[in-house]
């Protein structure tokens, strides 16, 4: 575990060593007053005369040691905290870079609460280990060991008495660790589940209220919070007795030394100065030992979190090279592509198993450069998954996808992302200005270029009505705007990016009839002269596509133009009839409402 931590520290590893040495000096300064006290007490007990100047110098020495102890302790912790927080920064950056290259399915499966806990809570918990447990734990453990060596040199019999309470304390700690480790897995699983439930409860509050499901939703919330409480209490109840034993006995280093040592002195087995020395040193190491083992008791907890971080950092990334794009053109080729979503589910024995749900089977087709290719089919037929494979959200289990003859796995994610614009049904807007949300399409764009993209996306009519125009805040997840307005901002972002390949996933889903024409005009600005892949349920909108690919239950059953498919493809005929019936129903409803 410590090896992994020092790997995270990187260039700050030496700071951890320096901090440990400085804290070591601090602990030593805390021990020296007991030695100085011995130098005064021993001659007094033996009946020897002690000069006032001798005592005064020892008192001054004690004060100096206490000041130096505080100084070195503060200095050491400042060094360790600087190293700790820089290490946490490096670790979070590593996690962020890892998440960029993970299949989207893994991220979605873990849930927002688990990911938040990983990035924030679990990483923050390492601050205790880096800033305190390493420097303080090591220092508070080494100094008592050195002191025990000195005690054995003075009188090994008295030193053994001083050690008497330690074996029982250590045994109690081992039992506490063993009991705690058995309950740690369920405890953390309940914590992750509670985090996910809380976030789901908050995000779904609007739906819960609309459908009057407060009681059911709250019941799930209450159950997961109660489970977390029960697991936590069960863990602590099992550990508390053993924690109390070692916490009480460990500092009691004189529990046998004082009575038996006095008897040894009376019997002539030991000398009184040696007894006084061992008693003073025994009293001096109680607090360091308690601190050292106190830090050690956090290790299983931290080790569990480090294991979770390691599992995430070692998760297989998307297959991607570091090469730039060197394709011949922007033809998009799917070659015998199959894909299944993978989910983790409890098996018959309670252990997690990977379940697969195949949504694409042996898909082969080519979307020609500069042409419009439409993907149509019933909901759940695999259309959106095909698009997500193209933008490399996932790796196909079988087959390959290439652009201009170059496979996606043979180019870097940066090279791929710079050549594809993806406009989904409801793309995320960040809680910053609308101008900066659009500028995400091309970060080096000027304000004027952003404004031009907004105009082409037909955004100005609603932007001009906002108090601060394009500088208005989007709100959390863009909630200050309507669904159609968010889509137009997404279109402006894609227009600004000006990528040669455009993927539209139901881009007009939130547009009402009045605004759909404006959306179509904005899309025309976006896709002119580009390779276009469209996912659509509204078949009339893609009648003029150069190629229409018909999906049915994860298989591509036909490709061709509208007229060809309407004559030869039963699945397309069914979709077309449903579209016509829907249009007629809307017309009749509109007439009845007049």
**How far apart are the C-alpha atoms of 80 and 254, rounded to whole Å?**
33
Nearest C-alpha neighbor of 557 from the set 424, 428, 364, 292: 364
DSSP state of 117: I
Task: Return the pLDDT at 60.
Answer: 94
Q: Is 2-164+256-313's fold the same as 329-345+352-419+537-584's? A: no
pLDDT at 510: 55
Contact yes or no for 542/549 (Cβ under 8 A): no
Q: Which helix (H) or strand (E) holds 10?
A: none
Q: Is 340 helix (H, G, I), strand (E, B) or coil?
A: strand
| Ranges of each domain in the chain | 2-164+256-313, 329-345+352-419+537-584
d(CA 49, CA 59): 17
Burial class (CB in 10 A: 0-12, 13-18, 19+), 429: buried
CA 47 to chain centre: 67
Helix axes 299-313, 2-9, angle to 10 degrees: 60
Residue-wise pLDDT for 487-536, tens only, equals 888 888 988 998 999 998 876 655 566 666 767 777 777 787 889 999 87
Question: At residue 7, what are phi and psi to the nearest 5 degrees?
Answer: -65, -40
Expressed in angstroms, the distance from the first to the final Cα of the chain is 73
> What is the per-residue DSSP string for 343-412?
EEEE-TTSSEEEEEEEEEEEEEEEE-TTSEEEEEESTTSSHHHHHHHHTTSS--SEEEEEETTEEGGGS-
Residue reference for tokens 């390779």: 531
pLDDT of 22 reads 93
* Span 405-427, pLDDT tens digits: 899 888 888 888 889 988 887 77
CA–CA gap between residue 426 and residue 275 (Å, rounded) = 78
Torsion of CA 144, 300, 129, 24, to 10 degrees: 10
Residue 433 is classified by DSSP as B
Domain 2-164+256-313: what homologous superfamily?
Answer: ABC transporter type 1, transmembrane domain (1.20.1560.10)
Q: Is the dihedral of CA 348, 350, 351, 356 positive or negative?
A: positive
Q: Are 332 and 370 in contact (CB under 8 A)?
A: no
Q: Are 360 and 339 in contact (CB under 8 A)?
A: yes
In CATH, the number for domain 329-345+352-419+537-584 is 3.40.50.300
pLDDT mean for each 10 residues of the chain (594 residues): 71 88 89 85 80 89 93 92 89 84 72 77 82 82 82 84 80 78 75 76 62 62 84 80 77 79 87 84 79 73 76 76 83 93 64 75 92 90 89 88 90 87 81 90 91 89 87 81 83 89 75 66 79 85 89 92 91 86 52 47
H or E element in which residue 510 lies: none
Measured distance CA(273)–CA(284) in Å, rounded: 17
**What HEC string does 166-219 produce?**
HHHHHHHHHHHHHHHHHHHHHHHHHHHHHHHHHHHHHHCHHHHHHCCCHHHHHH
Count of CB atoms situated within 10 Å of the CB of 251:
19
User: pTM for the whole thing?
Assistant: 0.65
Beta pairing partners, 231: none
């Amino acid at each position: 575990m410590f090896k992994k931590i020092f790997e995270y520290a990187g260039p700050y590893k030496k700071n951890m060593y320096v901090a440990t040495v400085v804290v070591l000096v601090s602990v030593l300064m805390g021990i020296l007053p007991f030695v100085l006290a011995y130098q005064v007490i021993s001659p007094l007990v033996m009946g020897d005369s002690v000069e006032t100047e001798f005592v005064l110098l020892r008192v001054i020495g004690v004060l100096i040691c206490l000041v130096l102890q505080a100084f070195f302790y503060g200095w050491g912790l400042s060094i360790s905290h600087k190293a700790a927080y820089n290490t946490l920064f490096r670790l979070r950056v590593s996690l962020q870079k890892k998440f960029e290259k993970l299949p989207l399915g893994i991220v979605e499966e873990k849930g927002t609460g688990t990911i938040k806990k990983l990035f924030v809570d679990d990483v923050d918990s390492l601050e205790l280990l880096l800033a305190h447990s390493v420097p303080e734990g090591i220092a508070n453990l080494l100094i008592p060991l050195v002191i025990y060596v000195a005690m054995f040199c003075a009188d090994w019999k008295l030193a053994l008495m001083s050690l008497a309470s330690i074996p029982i304390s250590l045994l109690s700690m081992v039992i506490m660790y063993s009991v705690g480790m058995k309950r740690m897995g369920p405890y953390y699983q309940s914590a992750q589940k509670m985090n996910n439930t809380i976030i789901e409860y908050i995000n779904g509050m609007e739906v819960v209220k609309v459908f009057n499901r407060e009681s059911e939703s709250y019941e799930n919330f209450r159950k997961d919070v109660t489970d977390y409480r029960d697991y936590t209490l069960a863990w602590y109840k099992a550990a508390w007795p053993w924690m109390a034993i070692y916490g009480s006995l460990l500092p009691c280093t004189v529990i046998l030394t004082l009575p038996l040592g006095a008897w040894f002195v009376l019997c002539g087995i030991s000398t009184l100065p040696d007894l006084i020395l061992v008693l003073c040193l025994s009293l001096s190491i109680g607090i360091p030992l308690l601190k050292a083992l106190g830090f050690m008791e956090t290790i299983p907890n931290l080790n569990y979190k480090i294991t979770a971080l390691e599992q995430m950092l070692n998760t297989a990334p998307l297959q991607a090279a570091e090469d730039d794009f060197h394709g011949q053109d922007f033809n998009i080729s799917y070659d015998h592509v199959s894909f299944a979503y993978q989910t983790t589910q409890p098996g018959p024995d309670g252990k997690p198993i990977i379940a697969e749900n195949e949504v694409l089977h042996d898909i082969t087709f080519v979307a020609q450069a500069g042409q419009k290719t439409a993907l149509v089919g019933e909901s759940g037929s695999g259309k959106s998954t095909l698009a997500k494979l193209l933008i490399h959200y996932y790796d196909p289990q079988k087959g390959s996808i290439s652009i201009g003859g170059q496979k996606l796995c043979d180019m870097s994610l940066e090279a791929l992302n710079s050549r594809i614009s993806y406009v989904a049904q409801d793309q995320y807007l960040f809680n910053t200005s609308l101008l900066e949300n659009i500028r995400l399409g091309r970060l080096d764009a000027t304000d004027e270029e952003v404004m031009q993209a907004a105009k082409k996306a037909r955004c100005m009519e609603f932007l001009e009505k906002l108090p601060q125009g394009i500088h208005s805040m989007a709100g959390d997840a863009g909630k200050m705007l309507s669904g159609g307005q968010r889509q137009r901002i997404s279109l402006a972002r894609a227009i600004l990016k000006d990528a040669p390949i455009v993927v539209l996933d139901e881009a007009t889903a939130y547009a009402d009839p009045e605004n759909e024409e404006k959306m179509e005009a904005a899309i025309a600005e976006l896709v002119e002269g580009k390779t276009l892949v469209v996912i659509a349920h509204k078949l009339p909108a893609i009648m003029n596509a150069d190629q229409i690919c018909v999906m049915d239950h994860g298989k591509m059953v036909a490709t061709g133009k509208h007229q060809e498919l309407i004559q030869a493809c039963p699945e397309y005929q069914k979709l077309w009839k449903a579209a016509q019936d829907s249009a007629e129903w809307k017309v009749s409803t509109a007439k009845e409402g007049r």
